[in-house]
Chain A
Amino acid sequence: MALVELKDLSFKYQLADEFALKRINLKIEEGDFYAIVGANGSGKSSLCYAIRGFIPHFHRGDFSGEVLVADQSNSQRKLGEIGLDVGFVFQNPFSQISGVAMNVYEEVSFGLENLGVAKEMIAHRVEEIMTLLEIEHLRQRNPYNLSGGEQQKVAIASVMVMEPRILILDEPTSQLDPVGTEQVFKAIELMKNRGMTIILVEHKMELISYFANKVAVLKNGELLLDGPIQDVFTSPVFAHSQIKPPVYVEVNSELKKHFDYCCEEVLTHEQCTALLHSLKQRSAIEK
């Protein structure tokens, strides 16, 4: 049974002219690392809001269909109840920082304190997550005095530390430097390995193909494609998505114009370098 199920979900924001989501059907299994991709305005954030229950509980509008989380309909539950299952990292960290914490340590521990977690456990989990995301050195800084990227890491830590069953991250690395981005992806992977189900909105296809196992592609509010990474990124339908596949897919198709070989699985840097080494060896032998 799917942990998250969207059944014929449609939604139009109150003052909008068009539907943001159009008859979406999607199943996310427990333990999946599911990436949601698409051009800006394709409905990615709206889809995440629906899973978290912000649609329709906070954002009002024309809603039809059903969202089931852990076999319970979001329409039948309060936002706070859904929040016990689903953690959400917002696209804009500036709107997530609580404003009540004097420093980063307090900001990251805020959620656990509100859940009544024991003091020793809070200290343990906060230290662990701050080490994982390499923000220990920021512990005494005021969250509002941090750079955009540092704030983004603090926002991620403050949700991750609560260890929700389902973790939704809406473009969590948009303001991070490349190494910081990789740290966040590795932290997400660790959460996944602990059994967390991950739903991630992201534009960085090379990282998605390395870390995620499934991907859903949205276009103008419709679900264009979904399934295992390999199937989606190499599907002819993906060309209609308005987004580029990982650069290694492009390298693979460009190489095929010059070399005669059969190899479809080239999505990551490692797979690409392995292919290039084998082509090089073959060329040397043929000569």
Chain B
Amino acid sequence: MINVTELVYRYPTGFDALRGINLQIDHGEKVAIIGQNGAGKSSLVKHFNGLLKPTSGDVTINGVNTKEKTTAQLSRWVGYVFQNPDDQLFKNSIREELLFGPRQLSTDQVKIDEIVLEIAHLTGLESSLDKNPYDLSLSDRKFVSIASVLTMDQDVVILDEPTAGQSDDKIALLESIVNYLQEKGKTIIVIAHDMEFVAKNFTRVIVLSGGKILMDDSADRVFAQPEKLRQSQLRPPHITRLCLEFGLPVCFNVPEFVEAFVNSCCKRS
């Protein structure tokens, strides 16, 4: 559904953010894009909804070249949640924020009201609908920006650093949102620096470094290569580091690690 061919992007300042990207993301995939700050992660995903157009190369969504469509046209298929919610929110109430997107796409008010309530419930915003988004904390504003995209019910949802500044309970809420989208058959693309979140929730991981793809593989294979990850200023999750140090199979949670460790002690002795 998303095809990227020889994508190069140069900012007007002359900075080359993307230097020949080739990839394909199929319908319903869950993909995490990771990499050092400035690796080109946001620049790449902004091509999926036409916010950026290739300097050279091509990006197609459902076979349509993004060069031929405006961002507004592409927004029927692709939803993008900005890294900074303040770049995105502009209405006086959360309800208005959530209503704005679907109103641009449909006139069926009953359906619109239904989805707004469903998404407000999903994102924990039900009791805050009449509040001004800017009366909420930065963390909660992120959920408003996520909700305002999800109400548009697009095929592809891109979340740009949703885990930044979130505490454990909010990370759990994000996980339930990812699961909801997966059950709905959406394509989910997430940019994140939280390796525990990536390892736990995403099977395919794309590592960017200096505007190029360094790795594109399953989470357990990607996180088994600490030296390669370091090239993009990344490290495996804490528990995976212990696995690697003790020669155990890669895993991402404590009970699995301890079980493998206990078994290895029995075997070796």
B232 within 8 A of A: yes
In the A-B complex, the 5 residue pairs with the closest CB atoms: A149-B37, A287-B269, A179-B233, A174-B165, A283-B265
B164 x A174 contact (CB < 8 A) = yes
Residues 265-287 of chain A, each 1 if its beta carbon lies under 8 Å from chain B, else 0: 00001001100100110011011
Inter-subunit contact A39/B168 (CB<8 Å): yes
**Does B135 count as interface, using CB distance less than 8 angstroms?**
yes
**Cβ contacts under 8 Å, B246 to chain A:** 276, 280
Shortest distance in angstroms between B76's beta carbon and chain A's nearest beta carbon? 27
Q: Tell me which of A38, A92, A149, A286 has the highest count of chain B C-beta atoms within 10 A of its own C-beta.
A: A149
Is A40 a contact partner of B166 (Cβ separation < 8 A)?
yes
- Interface stretch of the complex, out of B21-29, B60-68, B178-186, B256-264: B256-264
Do residues A145 and B13 form an inter-chain contact, with CB atoms below 8 A? yes
B235: contacting residue among A174, A179, A203, CB under 8 A:
A179
Q: Are A175 and B161 in touch, CB under 8 angstroms?
A: yes
What's the least CB distance linking A66 to chain B, in Å?
Answer: 25
Q: Does B42 contact A (CB under 8 A)?
A: yes
Asked whether any CB of chain B lies closer than 8 Å to the CB of A2, the reply is no
Check: B268 CB closer than 8 A to any chain A CB. Answer: yes
B108 within 8 A of A: no
B interface, CB within 8 angstroms of A: 11, 13, 15, 35-38, 42, 83-84, 86-87, 135, 137-140, 161, 164-170, 193, 195, 230, 232-235, 238-239, 241-242, 245-246, 254-255, 257-258, 261-262, 264-266, 268-269
Q: Judge whether B138 and A147 touch: CB under 8 Å.
A: no
Residues of A within 8 A of B164 (CB): 148, 174-175
In angstroms, Cα B266 to Cα A257, docked, is: 15
Q: A175-B37, A248-B238 are in contact. Are A276 and B84 (CB under 8 A)?
A: no
A123 contacts partner chain B, Cβ-Cβ < 8 Å: no
> How long is the Cα–Cα vector from A180 to B36 in the complex, in angstroms?
8
Using a CB–CB distance below 8 Å, which chain A residues touch chain B? 15, 38-42, 45, 91-92, 94-95, 141-142, 145-150, 153, 171, 174-181, 203, 206, 242-244, 247-248, 250-251, 254-255, 257-258, 269, 272-273, 276, 279-280, 283-284, 286-287
CA–CA, A88 and B241, complex, Å: 33
A177 touches B232 (CB 8 A): yes
Contacts of A174 in B (CB 8 A): 164-165
On whether the beta carbons of A148 and B37 are closer than 8 Å, the reply is yes
Asked if B83 and A91 sit within 8 Å, CB to CB, the answer is no
Check B234–A258 contact: CB distance below 8 A: no
**Separation of A250 and B268 alpha carbons in the complex (Å):** 24
A241 to B234, alpha carbons, bound, how many Å?
Answer: 29
> Is A177 a contact partner of B140 (Cβ separation < 8 A)?
no
Complex-state Cα separation, A83 to B137, whole angstroms: 24
A283 to B266, CA, bound (A): 7
Minimum CB–CB distance for A269 against chain B, Å: 7
Question: Nearest Cβ distance between residue B33 and chain A, in whole angstroms?
Answer: 12
Q: Give the residue of B36, B135, B264 whose beta carbon is less than 8 angstroms from that of A177.
A: B36
A141 to B13 alpha-carbon distance, docked (Å): 9
Please indicate the chain B residues that have their CB under 8 angstroms from the CB of A147 in the complex.
Answer: 37-38, 42
Q: Which of A38, A177, A255 has the most CB of B within 10 A?
A: A177
Main secondary structure of the interface of B (DSSP, over half): helix
Chain B residues whose C-beta falls within 8 Å of the C-beta of A91 in the assembled complex: 138, 165
Subset of 23 A-B contacts with CB under 8 Å: A39-B169, A40-B140, A40-B165, A41-B139, A91-B165, A92-B86, A141-B15, A147-B37, A150-B38, A175-B193, A178-B193, A178-B235, A180-B36, A203-B168, A242-B168, A247-B238, A251-B239, A251-B254, A258-B258, A273-B245, A276-B246, A280-B265, A284-B265
Cα A276 to Cα B261 in complex, Å, equals 9
Bound CA span A95–B84, Å = 11
> What's the least CB distance linking A166 to chain B, in Å?
22
Assembly CA distance A140 to B260 (angstroms): 50
Chain B residue numbers with a CB within 8 Å of A177 are 35-37, 193, 232-234
Are the CB atoms of B268 and A92 closer together than 8 Å? no
**A179 partner residues in chain B, CB cutoff 8 A:** 36, 230, 233-235
Task: Report the nearest B residue to A273, measured CB to CB.
Answer: B245
A92 vs B164: C-alpha distance when bound (angstroms): 10
Q: If the complex has contacts A177-B232, A247-B254, A279-B265, are A269 and B238 also in contact, measured as CB distance less than 8 A?
A: yes
Closest residue to A153 on the B side, CB-wise? B37
Is the pair A269, B258 in contact by a Cβ cutoff of 8 Å? Answer: no
A95, B42: Cα distance in complex, Å: 19
Question: Is there an interface contact between A92 and B169, defined as CB atoms closer than 8 Å?
Answer: no
Point out the residues of chain B lying under 8 angstroms from A180, CB to CB.
36-37, 233
Chain A residues near B265: list those with CB within 8 A.
279-280, 283-284
Please indicate the chain A residues that have their CB under 8 angstroms from the CB of B139 in the complex.
40-41
Which residue of A146, A181, A203 contacts B165 across the interface (Cβ within 8 Å)?
A: A203
List of B residues within 8 angstroms of A250 by Cβ: 254
